Every structure is written in C-alpha cells, then in structure tokens.
Copies of this chain bind each other. A is one copy, B any other.
Amino acid sequence: MFVTGHNAEDEKEPAPSAASIRDVAKAAGVSYQTVSRVINHHPNVSQKARDKVTAAMAELGYRPNRAARALANGMDRAVTVLTSNTNLFGYAETLGGIEVAARAAGVHVAIRVLPSDSPEDIAAAVDQVSDPRSGAVIVLAFDREGSQALEALPATVSWAGAAESWLGRQSSLAESPRLTWYDDTAAARTATEHLLDLGHRTVHHVAIPSSSPVGDRERGWKQALEAAGAPVPEVVQPHGWSIAGAYDAARELLLDPDVTAVLCGNDDQALGVIRAANDLGLKVPEDVSVVGFDDVPAAPYFTPALTTVRFDFAALGRRAFELLELGSGSTEERAPLASPALIVRESTGPAPQGRTAARTTPPPQHLRAAGAGAEPRHKEDR
C-alpha cells in the first residue's frame, strides 16, 4: 500500500528517449511502415509480421507519439469540453459521462472553462478550441456562457453540445443533429402539475440562470399554470446559482401567506428555500411544498427529503460524445435518453387549509454576515 519510491531503476540509463516506430521496425526486422500499418490495424499485414511487430513493441515499451500522429493526420483524436463550471452537479456529471464515452473510444478529453460570459472571455475560449486540427469540442450550453460559445464556434470545427431544450429547437441548430437535451419544459410541467394536483392554488417559481431570457423550466411551469387556469405569479430570479441567492429571495417570497408551493430551478435552490421556510417558522411540506430539479445524491437525505426531477446527466454527456461520431465508423444504435422523472419524496404535500404566518425573525447568525460561513469561497453571482 505504501509508496515505494518511484522506480529508481528507471533512472540509470542515460535516457532511453522513447522508442520510435523505426526502433520497433529494426527490432522486428521489418520496415517502419509495416509497423505503422500494425498500429493502425491495416488489413494488409501478414500475421507473421504482425506478431513480430507486436512483440517488438511490447519489448521496447513502444508508445505512439500523439503529436506526430496528430500532425501527420491533420487531426488529433481528442475532444475538449467547453463549460462555465466544473462543480455544479449537472455539469460535473455530464463531464463524467463524456469522459467515460471518450475513454471507451480511445479519445483524449480536455477541458476549458468559460470564466464569464464577457465577449472577451467567450472569444478567447472559442479561439482556443477553434482549431479543427486539435480535435472536436463539446460545449455544455446550459447557460449563457455555453450558448454564446456555441454561437461563436466557427463552422470548421467538429462540435456537439448538451443544451437546454429551447436551443435544441432553434431552427438553425436543429438542422444539424449535434445537440442533445432533455425536455426541461415537459419536466417542469409535470412537476408543476404534481403541485397543482395536491390542491395548491398556484405555484411560485424560483429560477436558475438560463441560456435564454426565459428558461425552459420557467416555460413549462407557466404552461402548466395556464393550462390549469391558475394565476401566474412573477418569477423569482435570484442572481446566479448560489444557494444564498435562493435563500434570500425565499425569505422575501414566503412572507406572503398565499405562497404554499415553490418550484425551484434546481436542488440547491430548493435547499435554500427549505431552509428559509424553516427560519421563518414554516414547515415543509405542511405549510409550503418545495420541488427541485436534478436529484442530486444528497436530495433523499435532506430534511425533508426532496421531491425533485431526476435527469441522467451522465447519459447526456455520453450522447453528446456519440454525436461527434468519433466512433469506429459503425453508426451504433443510439438508445434514446430516458425522460426526466419526477421523484416524489417528502417535501411536497397537500395544500394547507390556512397557511401559518411567517415569523420574521432574522436569519441565523451563520447566514448573516457575508464571509461568516455563507460560502464566501464560491463565485456566487455573474
């Protein structure tokens, strides 16, 4: 189990300097082009030659030089993921899915983050990945950064994207089957209907950032409300993804006794809303029902356990990779993505007869002063 000391024997030689295709050829007693053929699985190589080459490669510890290969091919077998974020659940999970698929296909994966949606930052990132010779790119277009990068990508690079559904439906993009997405609108509709079915007069909505002025989840929520003839309250739009934003907004929102059901843009926000309810002396779900999106691993362990919509982001990532068609040529059958599923747990319940009035006590100490523990480390706003 303990580290032994980094193969000190390796350091004796004057520098073995990596065996090349010619070294292998010499050792195998063939020309180096034959070695190349073996490496590239060309059909026209005798079994005997192939065996000799394989043996020589193993003996010399031959390792193809990616750079030389990319240079000669005019193309590297690599994909770089363009994303504004590496931490948020959906992003990290999608990245993980891409990596799994790429690894299986023998494709290298790189990552480039979009630090902001400023034109300069977008341009710099797009410029960096715009060289078709250095591989394909997958952009995570769940937000403004991503969709703007997508927009700015030159037509010369091979790309694919995981996006919000509105983007996928854009005519200009819909023509090329390079975008995957989940139907956020339908998912939000389902979640809203669940709340309405529970007898809530209407549902309020706390939104996450979106790549468009009106997010898909917001759209679905509104559709469900209108279909049911329920009033459509104003959307609560905290700045950014931070839980603090949702918490603060909810402390305002929940003062209104008419608010008995809140659909949140994601599970993090839902947590903030639940906590805000607690701090105002409101019980979830007795006084107010809360729904999230994503189904993060922690959701079943919240108090109360969160009712939420599950998305399989890893599958989304895998699909995005498939769209690149970097596979071994064969157009494999693509299993359809499973639809998002509403997972009903404890945070939603029947509409209260008369909702408890909110206690307007101040937030707990640890959430009060900025920097006193309210996630000062994290970039919260954009």
Contacts and interface: CB of A to CB of B under 8 A. Distances in A.
Interface string A1-43: 1111111101100000010000000000000000000000000
Given A87-B92, A373-B343, A71 B63 contact: no
Given A86-B96, A112-B103, A243-B298, A305 B213 contact: no
A18 B314 CA distance: 34
Contact of A312 (B3, B297, B377): B377
A140 interface: no
Query: What interface size band does chain A fall in?
Result: 35 or more
A123 B6 CA distance: 14
Contacts of A268: 297-298
A366 B346 CA distance: 8
Q: Is the interface of A mostly helix, strand, loop or mixed?
A: mixed
Given A10-B154, A67-B134, A87-B96, A301 B314 contact: no
Interface stretch (A167-175, A183-191, A199-207): A167-175
A172 B67 contact: no
A286 interface: no
Given A67-B134, A96-B87, A301 B243 contact: yes
A314 to B, nearest CB: 7
Given A18-B131, A111-B99, A113-B99, A298 B314 contact: no
A378 B92 CA distance: 13
Nearest to A132: B18
A216 to B, nearest CB: 14
Nearest to A312: B377
A275 B69 CA distance: 54
A76 B127 CA distance: 19
20 contacts: A3-B150, A3-B151, A6-B153, A7-B154, A11-B155, A65-B133, A66-B70, A86-B96, A87-B96, A100-B115, A109-B111, A109-B112, A247-B301, A275-B302, A275-B303, A297-B375, A297-B378, A305-B364, A343-B366, A345-B373
Given A111-B111, A297-B378, 6 more contacts: A2-B212, A6-B151, A6-B172, A10-B155, A63-B130, A300-B366
